Amino acid sequence: MIRAFIPRKLEHIAFGFLLSCFMSLLISAVATFLAIGFAADFVPRWLSAWLPSWAIAFPTVLVVAPIVRRILHRFVVTDGG
């Protein structure tokens, strides 16, 4: 079992890091596949597309997530109606 090591005050940054990593990895894989198919050099091309995508996605998630949370709080029903 992995022992917890991220302080609570940094949780939102760790969340943004992991979310942006996985989402950009998946989206860049789909985009690369649609562009070139499963070519012999698919993996290196995918990874070279992923890294700059992630470099944009990570700070974007950190900025956009709090805005989305505020918007969403206007639409979410609290317990009791």
Q: What b/e string do you get for 15-53 counting C-beta neighbours within 10 Å, with b at 16 or more? A: ebbeebeeebbeebbeebeeeeeeeeeeeebbeebbeeb
Output the pLDDT for position 79: 80
- The pLDDT, as a whole number, for residue 81 is 58
Secondary structure class of 1 (helix, strand, coil): coil
pLDDT mean values, one per 10 residues, the chain (81 residues): 89 92 95 94 94 94 93 87 58
**Residue-level pLDDT at 65:** 92
